[in-house]
Amino acid sequence: MSDIIQLLPDFVANQIAAGEVIQRPASVVKELLENAIDAGAGKIQLIIKDAGRTLIQVTDDGCGMSPADARLCFERHATSKIADSQDLFKIRTKGFRGEALASIASVAQVEMKTRQHDQDLGTKVRIEGADVSECEPCQATEGTSFMVRNLFYNVPARRQFLKSDQVETRHIMDEFQRVALAHPDVAMSMHHNGTEVYHLTTGTPRQRVVGLFGNKYDERIIPVSEATDVVSINGFAGKPEFSRKTRGEQFLFVNNRFIKHHRFHHAVVSAMEGLIPHGNHPMYVIYLDIDPSYVDVNIHPTKTEVKFRDEQAIYLILRSAIKKSLGQFQVAPTLDFEAESSLNIPPLDKNRPIAVPQINVDPEYNPFRNDQKRSVPGMAGRKSTFDRQASKEWKEFYQILKQDREEEPAQLSTGLEDTSHKPEVGASVFQVGRNYIVAPIKSGLMVIDQQQAHQRILYEEFMNQDGQHQQHAQQLLYPQNLQLSPGDHALIVSHLEDLKGMGFDVEEFGANDLIVRGLPADSRQQDAGQLVDLIVNALKEGGEHERPGQHALAMGLARGASIRSGQVLQLAEMRELIDRLFACEVPYYGPTGRQAIVTFTPDDLSSKFE
Ligand code: ADP
Ligand code: MG
């Protein structure tokens, strides 16, 4: 029998490799951007058309290539970045496999112009399929420009598997963001179909975050910084209150390479345990610097998964670094006093005689001053305002505490009798982080999640409708007409009577429409459409309950109508909320089972000071 094994032609081998390396337009973007970074670019321009299907162009002002290299770079395993296997253990560049350009050239029409800085002429190479159709000297600016046209023109199956333009563009933006975050010292821009999507000048990491995600992120992030022998950690964590259900704002870099790492993600999330709702993901941009020989980046062709020698140590250091910054910038009430109402101190009653505080404290003493000296990036300019403002706020705060102490001597004592105690009438309560109500109780301190608490209240009130007592409706100035899908319409209509009982003044109107004339009096949500949406969802979700219909309605209404986290509450509102919460059967939990109240005994507190 004759021999049957043959070597694959290069072109076929490249196409097979391309299947791994180039899955979609975003993969091309990633490879070209990374090559530009590796070439030492100070400025990179990305231009795409039709989500990268028609054109992906990357222009850099990096080192450029000699005429010979310009031809060679499209060969498989052609790389300038490693010479032998030892080099694999000291990789500082993005690429090293020499596969990307060969792969791209096998599935697209590529044109490249490149010129080295000390040369007068550049080189132009044009490649289509396996063939170099052009390779000649040309005029070119310093650096390199790649134009990749008609991706997958010769692999129709791949082309068909691409998602909508919107999805593919999203992937491209993700890659762009990753490279941009890793290299704030490189100016970068992106255009899509003639529109500028990003325009990033060089700057600090914080400026880069703000340039990519918007000005409001300046307020939302706190710096993280820790240096140890094993790893250096820098970057930012999003404040817990801005965590989200959806992922997508988690950026972890190792030696400036974006990676995904389940354990390290967990380290960040677990540092915020108790501060973010279960299932939410905090935003973060964390840069780890590790000796490259302790990192194995070679386990995956697209290199977002990485192995570490000291994984557990890094995990612990990362978690404690995040905790430390939360302590410095977030959890302690030395929050940013310039940002309004991060700590809402109730105004003092004018008629109340103000007792001069006798407590022996030094109001100028700033427990965080030592830490401040360590010069946290981005905080340098703030110190003086911080001191002045903080000591003023602290003075007021002590006065309030002092008054309470005098009026109710037992209140702050260390009695551990009963943790389930409602705060005393008239106890000073205040709001923290626009989400938590803090009140002293006999046995210590109580912290109430305003949203969970209000949901509990509304849920029980809606559940306790017995048909005879109708909840008050708050009439809308203009009745709202809502159009629903036939299915949703039918669902609501079948619960019309119950809804009316709950104060939802709603009527059927034609085959698919509803007219809403009034909402439950207690509702914080004035948009009837959104409220109906939540009710429909709750009805569809169902759930275990002896009165499933009523339960679902009450859940939907409670979710839709409740106070949200982020809302500033007045003193009277907070007091009313506490009163009504403690009138509930189950004050300690929201209707979905999340905790509504957390208490801290003096022991809990003292353990924080160890
Ligand atoms: P790798 O990046 O793994 O080395 P690539 O196929 O991406 O492999 O690139 C092959 C080689 O082409 C690189 O090693 C580099 O020498 C050269 N090259 C690619 N892009 C550029 C660029 N933008 N500027 C200068 N040289 C480049
Ligand atoms: Mg490369």
CATH of the domain at 313: 3.30.230.10
The rounded distance, in Å, linking the Cα atoms of 491 and 511 is 12
Choose which residue among 10, 101, 127 to substitute to test ligand 1 binding: the one with the highest number of ligand atoms within 8 A of its C-beta: 101
E strand intervals along 77-128: 109-115, 122-128
Q: pLDDT digit string (tens) for 357-396? A: 444 444 454 544 444 333 333 333 333 333 344 444 444 4
Same domain, 123 and 226: no
> Per the domain annotation, does 492 fall within a domain?
no
The range of the structural domain enclosing residue 285 comes to 206-328
Same domain, 32 and 175: yes
- CATH no. for residue 69? 3.30.565.10
Ligand 1 neighbours by CB, cut-off 6 Å: 31, 35-36, 38-39, 60, 62-65, 73, 78-81, 95-101, 144
- Nearest alpha carbon, ligand 1 atom 21: 35
Q: Which of 32, 63, 72, 73 to mutate to test the pocket of ligand 1 (most atoms within 8 A of CB)?
A: 73
Q: Based on the fold, state whether residues 33 and 139 are members of the same structural domain.
A: yes
Mean pLDDT of the chain: 79
Ligand 1 atom, smallest distance to 101 CA: 6
Closest-approaching ligand to the CA atom of 77: 1
Residues 177 and 213: their CA atoms lie apart, in Å, by: 9
233 Cβ neighbours under 8 A, 6+ residues apart: 224, 225, 226, 227, 286, 287, 288, 289, 317, 318, 321
Residue indicated by tokens 């039709």: 50
Model pLDDT, residue 319: 92
Residue 40 has pLDDT above 70, yes or no: yes
- ∠ CA 258-223-42, nearest 5°, is 50
Cα(324) to centroid(ligand 1), Å: 41
- Residue 321: predicted pLDDT: 93
Q: Which residues pair with 61 in a beta bridge?
A: none
Protein residue with least CA distance to atom 12, ligand 1? 73
Q: CA–CA separation, 264 vs 285, rounded Å?
A: 12
Ligand 1 centre and the CA of 186: distance in Å? 18
* Mean pLDDT of the region 79-101: 72
Question: 199 pLDDT band (50/70/90 cuts)?
Answer: very high
Average of per-residue pLDDT across 322-347:
52
For 288, 337, 348, 383, the CA distances from 389, given in Å and listed in that order, are 35, 7, 18, 10
* pLDDT value at residue 94: 72
Q: How far is CA 607 from the centre of its chain?
A: 30
User: Is pLDDT above 90 for 247?
Assistant: no
* Phi, psi for residue 228 in degrees, rounded to 5: -135, 175
Of residues 59 and 12, more confidence is placed in 59
Least confident of 156-170, 289-303, 432-446: 289-303
Q: How many CB atoms lie within 10 A of CB 322?
A: 25
Reported in sequence order, the residue ranges of 170-216 that DSSP labels E, i.e. its strands, are: 187-192, 195-200
Pair (24, 170) in one structural domain: yes
Report yes or no: 284 and 238 within 8 Å, Cβ to Cβ. yes
Closest residue by CA, ligand 1 atom 16: 80
Given pLDDT bands bounded at 50, 70 and 90, which one contains residue 414? very low
Among 306, 328, 350, the domain boundary falls at: 328
Q: Is the pLDDT of residue 267 over 80?
A: yes
Least confident of 3-17, 125-139, 168-182, 310-324: 3-17
92 within domain boundaries: yes
Pocket test for ligand 1, best of 72, 79, 115 (most atoms within 8 A of CB): 79
Residue 91 has pLDDT above 70, yes or no: no
**How many folded domains does the chain comprise?**
2
Going by alpha carbons, the residue nearest to atom 9 of ligand 1 is 98
- Report the range of poorest mean pLDDT among 84-98, 305-319, 513-527, 582-596: 84-98
108 assigned to some structural domain: yes
For residue 437, the CA-to-ligand 2 centroid distance in Å is 53
Can you tell me which atom of ligand 1 is nearest the CA of 100? 6
Asked if 21 and 104 sit in the same domain, the reply is yes
C-alpha 79 – ligand 1 centre gap (Å)? 6
Residue 419, pLDDT score? 36
- 545 pLDDT tier (thresholds 50, 70, 90): low
Q: How much is the pLDDT for 83?
A: 67
In angstroms, what is the span from residue 474 Cα to ligand 2's centroid? 63
Q: Is 530 contained in some domain?
A: no
Atom of ligand 1 nearest to the CA of 93: 2
Q: Separation of 35 CA from ligand 1 center, angstroms? A: 5
pLDDT band at 145; cut points 50, 70, 90: very high
Which whole number is the average pLDDT over 457-470?
A: 75
Q: What is the structure's pLDDT at 300?
A: 56
Cite the beta strand spans of 403-534 per DSSP E: 430-432, 436-441, 444-449, 473-483, 505-509, 513-520
| Structure confidence at residue 17 (pLDDT) | 65
Q: Can you name the residues that pair with 45 across neighbouring β-strands?
A: 59, 189
**pLDDT value at residue 174:** 92
Indicate whether 133 and 85 sit together in one domain. Answer: yes
Say which range, 86-100, 395-409, 576-590, has the weakest mean pLDDT.
395-409
| Closest-approaching ligand to the CA atom of 298 | 1
Residue 30 shares a structural domain with residue 162: yes
In a domain, 302, yes or no: yes
Nearest by Cα to 463 from 548, 384, 343, 554: 554
Domain membership of residue 131 (yes or no) is yes
Average confidence (pLDDT) over 246-270:
90
Q: Which ligand has the nearest atom to the CA of 73?
A: 1
The answer to whether residues 62 and 129 belong to one domain is yes
**pLDDT bracket for residue 148 (50, 70, 90):** very high
Judgement on whether residues 122 and 155 belong to the same structural domain of the protein: yes
Q: Whose CA is nearest to atom 20 of ligand 1?
A: 35
Separation of alpha carbons 533 and 260, rounded Å: 35
Residue 54 domain flag: yes
Nearest atom (ligand 1) to Cα of 99: 6
d(CA 382, CA 291): 34
Q: pLDDT tier at 124 (50, 70, 90 boundaries)? A: very high
Residue 35 pLDDT: 95
Distance 20 CA to ligand 1 centre (A): 18
Q: Where does the pLDDT of residue 469 fall: very low under 50, low under 70, confident under 90, or very high at 90 and above?
A: low
Per-residue pLDDT, 467: 55
pTM tops 0.75, yes or no: no
**Region 177-191 average pLDDT:** 97
Confidence of residue 52 (pLDDT cuts 50, 70, 90): very high
Both 134 and 14 in a single domain?
Answer: yes
Dist. CA 32 → ligand 2 center (Å)? 7
Q: Is 399 helix (H, G, I), strand (E, B) or coil?
A: helix
Q: Which segment of 293-302, 427-436, 557-566 scores lowest on mean pLDDT?
A: 293-302
pLDDT (mean) for 176-195: 96
pLDDT at 307 over 50: yes
* Percentage, residues of the chain above pLDDT 70: 76
237 in a structural domain = yes
17 and 147 both lie in a single domain: yes
Q: What angle do CA 25, 31, 36 make, to 5 degrees?
A: 125
Edge-to-edge, what's the strand order for the sheet holding 513-520? 473-483, 513-520, 505-509
Residue 607 Cα, ligand 2 centroid: separation in angstroms?
A: 51
Determine contact, residues 187/42, Cβ cutoff 8 Å.
Answer: yes
Which atom of ligand 1 is closest in space to residue 64's alpha carbon? 25
Q: Closest Cα to atom 17, ligand 1: which residue?
A: 73
Indicate which atom in ligand 1 lies nearest the CA of residue 78. 10
Examine the fold and report which residue of 313, 328, 343 is the final residue of a domain before the chain moves on.
328
What is the rounded distance in angstroms from the CA atom of residue 448 to the CA atom of residue 432?
A: 10
Q: Are residues 118 and 221 in the same domain?
A: no
For residue 188, what are the β-bridge partners? 44, 200
Centre of ligand 1 to C-alpha 297, Å, is: 18
pLDDT surpassing 70 at residue 62 = yes
Q: At what angle do helices 450-463 and 571-582 cross, to 10 degrees?
A: 50
What pLDDT does 471 receive?
A: 67
Q: Which of residues 279 and 68 earns the better pLDDT score?
A: 68
Q: List CB contacts of 573: < 8 A, sequence separation 6 or more.
A: none
Give the end of a domain, one of 302, 328, 354.
328
